[in-house]
Amino acid sequence: MASPLMPKATAVWLVENTSLTFDQIAEFCGLHRLEVQGIADGEVAVGMVGLDPVAGGQVTPEEIARAEKDPKARLLLVIKDLPAPSKRGKGPRYTPVTKRGDKPDAIAWLLKSAPNLSDTQIGKLIGTTKTTIQAVKSRTHETSATLKPRSPVMLGLCTQAELEDAMAKARKRTGKPDPEPQVFEEEAVL
């Protein structure tokens, strides 16, 4: 059975504010009966502030009233049917300032290693504009003299799964297999 959030603090509140039995509180909070009795005697959780499970939406006042009338009844935790959090939505993604200078290097890597990708796919994958992609392609980008093709995954601009997904879509669209992956080693500084 699922227990409430902060079970000991919830037990403190239930001991102080309800007439539930120690067994009911212990079972609801996932504690031992003697621990709940120690809370009531002031030996356990001394100075702990109680957590109201009604205000937290973990139990309803009607459920507490029902359990107070019948000592054999058990409190039932309210299970919220919330939708799972969604993945990152479509649209522009934030790139930290420190990684923005790496985008042209990633574009150069993608142009050489995955020529099947369209400019739109590259733009979505890395979070850049078509103008920047065209400038890197035509070698008119302001940093074209110092470009070092580097993987966007290694630079942290996209995940491996996103890259593979984009490449699979490009293969499906063009009908061409990907070329052999090229490994670019960084130039050694002497």
Give the range of the structural domain holding residue 145, as residue numbers without chain letter: 97-174
Q: Is 108 domain-assigned?
A: yes
Give the global pTM.
0.48
Same-domain check for residues 65 and 101: no
Residue 4: per-residue pLDDT: 84
**φ and ψ at residue 124, rounded to 5 degrees:** -70, -40
Q: Is 77 domain-assigned?
A: no
Q: Is 185 domain-assigned?
A: no
Residue 179: per-residue pLDDT: 58
Q: Is 143 domain-assigned?
A: yes
Number of domains the chain contains: 2
Residue 188: per-residue pLDDT: 43
Among the three residues 19, 50, 69, which one is the final residue of a domain in this structure? Answer: 69
- pLDDT band of residue 84 (cuts 50, 70, 90) is low
Same-domain check for residues 15 and 61: yes
**152 close to 158: Cβ distance less than 8 angstroms:** yes
Please give the Cα distance from 179 to 139 (Å, whole number): 22
Q: What is the pLDDT of residues 142-155, one digit of tens each?
A: 988 999 999 998 98
Output the DSSP codes for 115-179.
TTS-HHHHHHHHT--HHHHHHHHTT-STTGGG-----HHHHTSS-HHHHHHHHHHHHHHH-PPPP
Amino acid code (one letter) for 177: P
Q: Is 146 domain-assigned?
A: yes
Same-domain check for residues 101 and 167: yes
Q: What is the pLDDT of residues 25-62, one digit of tens each?
A: 999 999 999 999 999 998 888 888 999 999 888 899 99
Q: Is 83 domain-assigned?
A: no
Same-domain check for residues 123 and 163: yes
Output the DSSP codes for 39-75.
HHHTSSSTTPPP--TTTTTSS-HHHHHHHHH-TT---
Residue 180: per-residue pLDDT: 54
